[in-house]
A and B are shown apart, each in its own frame.
Chain A
Amino acid sequence: MLQTSKSEFVEVMIDDNVSRGIGHNGVEVVIDRKKCNYSMYDPSGCKKCLQICPVGVFCTRPIEKRDFSIPPKDRIDPTIWIILATWADWCNGCGACIRECPKGAISIQFGEKALVPER
């Protein structure tokens, strides 16, 4: 599964492993989907990156578009939500999300500087 979505400012690419937001100004925010356990209705799923980011780089949404024409039992689970970096080009490189993420799922390529979680 690969979802891509593009505008003149940012491009978002989501596959099974990573959710990637690439800004036109060279900022690349990568969220490792294997490590991130976020889901909208899961109490253990954190949303610390959404809440800590001072410029609101991250967004969340259901993994697929809801389609009411499909019968309910065949629909994809609406409680599975993912994190994506829709406003990646606004990232200011403070690294708060990287420090905040308990799973170390976020890494950022900020121009020439790579911001990665500490081991």
Chain B
Amino acid sequence: MCHWCQQHGDRDHRWYEKVENYMFTKIFPEETEQEKVKAQMKATFSETEWRYSDPEYIRNQQFLRDRASSGFGSQIITKKEMLKIVQLADEAVKREDSIMVVGHCPCRLVLEGVRDYVCIGFGMPVTMSMELGYGRLPNIGLTEYGGMEWKDLRRDLRKGVKVPLKLEEAEGLIDEWEKRGLWHIVMSRGRLPLIEAICNCERRYCTYWMNRFRSGVPEYVLKGHFVARLDPHTCVTCGDCWDRCQFGAIHYSATSDNVDIDATLCMGCGLCASACPNNAIEMVPREEIPIARDLW
């Protein structure tokens, strides 16, 4: 079990498999507390770009460690788990009378200068705090490249116009992102165990990846609950998995013409398994692989 499962999960469910963890009103039942959290979100929201780009924040190890221990938690998940999460979120959102929305990735905005709609936020707090740009673009598509033609729409979104995302649409989008080769993260943004968003990213544009591997704060994003295992008899060494892996866990040996997957480096995103044309890669629960069991 990972740290978050020990704290926020139970015997049969991982921390992101409990529907209560998606419900703002279950986690903050008192109204005064709810107001406090909302005010806190409003205050920090306007600083998102600064927090992701300013050395005082993003290059400050102590700051990142404090944040990680103050309720920021995220974990890499496979596509299958992600579909489960979207279903749970949809259920929670319906119970709470809130909505699910797709929004642009703030990391990509800061590091690439592009608004790429690859995050799904759900529940009341996210919907509230991500007022800028969050919302499905009606009849236009989901990716916006910051040109003048989007001006009116952006103005509307800034005013708070939001288009809820349906469950089927979310599932379609997840397929699309998987095909693009983006890994998936489930995250809580400062209010563990409240799960607020799922996010699809690449190593190059992911602030969370940077926090873990460049700034050395591993608790910021945990490895997934699965590890990739290769069946060398089925594998034809085509190299599709190798193209997808962004964590350097897959290696090719020219001498023996074999592919190895290093279980200690595998983050469990499952991109290699979905790319494999022969289904030679299987995602095995981390508990079953002794060498990787305690690596989070």
A binding-site residues for B, Cβ under 8 Å: 5-12, 38, 40-41, 43, 47, 50-51, 56, 58-62, 65-68, 81, 84, 86-87, 90
Q: Which of B46, B56, B111, B146 contacts A56 (CB 8 A)?
A: B111
Answer whether A61 and B59 are a contact pair too, CB < 8 Å, given A43-B148, A47-B112: no
Are A40 and B113 interface neighbours, CB within 8 A? yes
Bound CA–CA A62/B53 (angstroms): 10
Answer whether A50 and B112 are a contact pair too, CB < 8 Å, given A65-B50, A68-B46: yes
Can you list 12 pairs linking A and B with CB atoms under 8 Å apart?
A40-B113, A40-B146, A50-B111, A56-B204, A56-B210, A58-B111, A59-B111, A60-B113, A61-B54, A65-B47, A66-B46, A84-B53
Which residues of the partner chain A approach B113 to less than 8 Å between Cβ atoms? 38, 40, 47, 50-51, 60, 81
Bound CA–CA A86/B49 (angstroms): 12
Q: Which of B46, B56, B151 contacts A65 (CB 8 A)?
A: B46
Q: Can you add 10 more A-B contacts, CB < 8 Å, to A60-B49, A86-B59, A87-B59? A: A12-B54, A40-B146, A43-B148, A50-B111, A50-B112, A65-B47, A66-B47, A67-B46, A84-B53, A86-B58
Number of interface residues of B (CB under 8 A): 28
Are A7 and B204 interface neighbours, CB within 8 A? no
Q: Which of B110, B204, B205 contacts A61 (CB 8 A)?
A: B110
Bound CA–CA A39/B189 (angstroms): 28
- For A40, give the chain B residue with the smallest CB separation: B146
Which residues of the partner chain A approach B204 to less than 8 Å between Cβ atoms? 56
Which residues of the partner chain A approach B290 to less than 8 Å between Cβ atoms? none
Are A60 and B53 interface neighbours, CB within 8 A? yes
Are B53 and A86 interface neighbours, CB within 8 A? yes
Q: Which of B19-63 contact A (CB under 8 A)?
A: 42, 46-47, 49-50, 52-56, 58-61
Contact with A along B184-214 (1 / 0, CB 8 A): 0000000000000000000011000010001
Bound CA–CA A58/B55 (angstroms): 12
Q: Shortest CB–CB separation between residue B201 and chain A, in angstroms?
A: 13
Q: Is B147 an interface residue (CB 8 A)?
A: yes
Shortest Cβ-Cβ A-B pairs, 8 listed: A59-B53, A47-B113, A7-B59, A66-B46, A61-B49, A61-B53, A7-B55, A7-B60
Q: Which of B218-241 contact A (CB under 8 A)?
A: none
